[in-house]
Amino acid sequence: MIFKFLFKHQALLILFLLVLSGSSASAILINYGKNGKIDYNLKIGTFNVTYGANQLLLNGFSQAEYQKKKISSKDYKQISYSKIAIKDAFGNGFKHVFLLKQSGLPDMQQVFYTYSGKDYFMIGIILEGINLSVNHIVPLNGNLIDGETSETPTSLFVPFDNDTFISYNTVSLKANVSNPSSEVSALYHDQSRKGFVIGSIDHTNWKTGIITTMDNDKKIGIQAICGYTEENITRDKISHGYLSGNSISSAKVFFGAFDDWRLGMETYAKLNRISEPPIVFKWKKATPVGWNSWGAMQEKITLEKANQVTDFFADSLKSFRSGGVAYIDLDSYWDNLLKGGLTGDYSKLKAFADHAKSKGLKPGIYWAPFVDWGFAGGGNRKADGTDYTFAEMWTKVGSGYHDIDGARALDPTHPGTQQRIATVINKFKECGFEMIKIDFLGHAAIESDHFYNPKITTGMQAYKTGMEFLLKQLDGKMLVYAAISPSMASGRYVHVRRIACDAFKSIKDTEYTLNSVSNGWWQTYLYDYIDADHVVFSDQSDGENTARFLSAIVTGTCIAGDDFSRQGKWTGTAQRLLNNTGILKILEDGKAFTPVEGNKGKSASSFFIKQVGNVKYLAVFNYGDTEQRFNLDFTRLGLEKDKKYGCENLIDRTKTMLKDNQALKLPAKDAQIFKLTSDQK
């Protein structure tokens, strides 16, 4: 009987013996975290990953494209292993290097990084040879093992940027379904919340795609592709640029399995912050709040109107401050106040900035430094502050140029682009602006046939060059806010990043914004702050206005957007909502709420929760056209089932007690926010 058992479970027996020995002639076992193991097969260049008794990944391997052909770690016959103790910003751990050699192929290093007490690992690939030229490396390829059988797994799509009103999306992974995602993806089950998170943690050379698929046999495939371009995602019309040299490294790829995929995404974001620490100056002041002109005023900016908005904030929105500060930011069409173009007379802009400061407010300005809006007028136009024409500065793409959003991309490495940036930023500094909203940054990350600087060969290298130059000109003088921009690669360059594309006043704008928060809230750990865009009240219903305001609070900052140079329903709404100090207090730590629900496709969670000290804040949204009844499941909300919670509605200031599974009725197109305290059982 014992032999029958051993024969039936021979795989478990082999694994047990390998655990005891640590390795064998054909296998290396790498421990990670409390109970994780990477079992590397030295004979065939593949590896399996387990955690305890659970299989996580089978037949893992690495790939690259070499001389127009795909090569794999499975093609190598000579594989050796070495282990090096490391201590870096991630912690204490080990670097596990598998050196693969094969005649006719470049050497390949598969490098695993494990850290003490961390239930995840990272993997990177290095190709070594003579004069290599590579634009496609796959550090991780294999089959994920889904241990849950009760429901279809959900695959998360993360956009490369927040342009063209793109949405995050959750896709049910079924037979013959593929879901490509930019830089990171999660594969999870919404009810149990168990899932995988796989993503790149550096973005200075490569654009990385994370592709999850399910085949006819319901096997789940995972690929992390460095060198990934797809026009609908990365905006590129050509393939990824090549890296050249005798040694080519991939991005490091993070792999982890979590009991709660939300914790996995937050862990991933924090690792990115460590991997690429900010080079923008450290923000030590309060969470930014303020106003931006694009929400309603748009092209109608005048000095008189801008000053009237300033006066409204000074006189009627005295409580709408954070750390005693609010910003008044002029968006596109601020050049209405100029005479003589970008190198001309800025006296009206300086007058606006001076007026804002005189009222105790901080002036802000807007610019898109890497685009040419006037390209339809021809390329022979002289670029402001330079001796170059715009045609010389345009990013070269195939037989043409890169146009999107009505603007043409400028080569971030070109001296004309940089001289123009220096000219305009110096003007802003002379005016005394203390905030800048920078926009259309994705244009700087586009792949090009060739950049002006021949050492720059990929879009992400160009983005790094352009953003570093821009920050050098800003010289730590302004709060830096990014609007349309790459999601992951911008973390080191800005203080604040808008979480989605433009949003205005309707419940659909609120739902669109919160789609990005539902699936991208974790970026609150990558940036100092993420933002919901200008909050416009206009003449919408009170419920829609409340929802739009709370969408900003849930995201972590608040920028108003109505035209307060004139009276209307919005002025009264603003005085009622934006002066609510009980709600504004939530913004003090600057962090986003966590979504309660996943798997909402292109919609959004209805519940968001946040803990500050001993207090929890719960926001509830009804995006529908009819009243909805919500049952408050304490387990899902992270509350204790056997407790009653003191509950204060922060909109109308009513107080009650809340218990598990209590029903909440919410009118159509409305939202509420509650302060929960657990001082009673």
| 8-state DSSP, 572 | H
**Residue that finishes a domain, picked among 227, 251, 275:** 275
Count of domains for the chain: 3
19 pLDDT above the threshold of 70: no
8 pLDDT above the threshold of 70: no
Nearest to 554 by CA among 600, 603, 614, 606: 606
Please report whether residue 249 resides in a domain: yes
Same domain, 235 and 314: no
**Residue that finishes a domain, picked among 224, 253, 275:** 275
Same domain, 267 and 318: no
Same domain, 560 and 612: no
Q: What is the mean pLDDT of residues 443-460?
A: 98
Same domain, 149 and 58: yes
Average pLDDT of the chain, as a whole number: 95
Whole-angstrom Cα distance, residue 294 to residue 288? 17
Please report whether residue 523 resides in a domain: yes
2 pLDDT above the threshold of 70: no
Nearest to 124 by CA among 73, 53, 48: 73
Please report whether residue 488 resides in a domain: yes
Same domain, 439 and 581: yes
Report the pLDDT value the prediction gives residue 681, as an integer from 0 to 100: 45
Largest Cα–Cα separation, the chain: 94
Cβ neighbours, 10 Å, residue 242? 15
Report the pLDDT value the prediction gives residue 63, as an integer from 0 to 100: 98
Asked if 107 and 129 count as a contact pair (C-beta separation under 8 A), the reply is: yes
Please report whether residue 14 resides in a domain: no
4 pLDDT above the threshold of 80: no
Whole-angstrom Cα distance, residue 552 to residue 554? 5
Please report whether residue 598 resides in a domain: no
Bridge partners of 185, per DSSP, are 198
**Cα–Cα separations (whole angstroms), residue 12 to 8, 9, 15, 33, 54:** 9, 5, 5, 20, 11
Report the pLDDT value the prediction gives residue 217, as an integer from 0 to 100: 86
410 pLDDT above the threshold of 60: yes
pLDDT tens digits for range 605-633: 999 999 999 999 999 999 999 999 999 99
Looking up residue 86, the CATH number of its domain turns out to be: 2.70.98.60
Same domain, 52 and 77: yes
Report the pLDDT value the prediction gives residue 5, as an integer from 0 to 100: 39
**Cα–Cα separations (whole angstroms), residue 663 to 363, 546, 629:** 45, 20, 6
232: Cβ–Cβ under 8 A, 6 or more apart, which residues? none
pLDDT tens digits for range 347-394: 999 999 999 999 999 999 999 999 999 999 999 999 999 999 999 999
Q: What is the mean pLDDT of residues 397-409?
A: 95
* Both tokens assigned to 569: 């329903």
Q: Give the containing element (helix H, strand E) for 512.
A: helix 507-520
Report the pLDDT value the prediction gives residue 148, as an integer from 0 to 100: 82
Nearest to 594 by CA among 520, 526, 539: 520
Asked if 20 and 31 count as a contact pair (C-beta separation under 8 A), the reply is: no
What range does the domain containing 548 cover?
A: 289-592
Whole-angstrom Cα distance, residue 649 to residue 619? 10
Same domain, 297 and 263: no
The percentage of the chain sitting over the pLDDT mark of 70, rounded to a whole number, equals 96
The percentage of the chain sitting over the pLDDT mark of 90, rounded to a whole number, equals 94
**Residue that finishes a domain, picked among 561, 592, 623:** 592
pLDDT tens digits for range 506-539: 999 999 999 999 999 999 999 999 999 999 999 9
Residue 520: how many CA atoms within 13 Å on its side-chain side?
Answer: 36
Same domain, 522 and 651: no
Report the pLDDT value the prediction gives residue 679, as an integer from 0 to 100: 65
Report the pLDDT value the prediction gives residue 218, as an integer from 0 to 100: 87
Report the pLDDT value the prediction gives residue 9, as an integer from 0 to 100: 45
Helix axes 542-555, 507-520, angle to 10 degrees: 20
**Cα–Cα separations (whole angstroms), residue 429 to 86, 310, 317:** 44, 20, 27
Please report whether residue 584 resides in a domain: yes
225 pLDDT above the threshold of 70: yes
* Both tokens assigned to 200: 């790149």
Measured in whole angstroms, the distance separating CA 306 from the mean position of its chain's CA atoms is 32
Same domain, 77 and 195: yes
pLDDT tens digits for range 187-211: 999 999 999 999 999 999 999 999 9
Same domain, 516 and 637: no
66: Cβ–Cβ under 8 A, 6 or more apart, which residues? 105, 106, 127, 132, 134
Please report whether residue 230 resides in a domain: yes
Measured in whole angstroms, the distance separating CA 372 from the mean position of its chain's CA atoms is 26
Please report whether residue 646 resides in a domain: yes
3 pLDDT above the threshold of 60: no
Same domain, 379 and 460: yes
Looking up residue 625, the CATH number of its domain turns out to be: 2.60.40.1180
Same domain, 107 and 200: yes
* Both tokens assigned to 471: 């920050």
Confidence band for 149, pLDDT divided at 50, 70 and 90 = confident
pLDDT tens digits for range 230-243: 999 999 999 999 99
Looking up residue 431, the CATH number of its domain turns out to be: 3.20.20.70
Q: What is the mean pLDDT of residues 493-505?
A: 97
pLDDT tens digits for range 96-132: 999 999 999 999 999 999 999 999 999 999 999 999 9
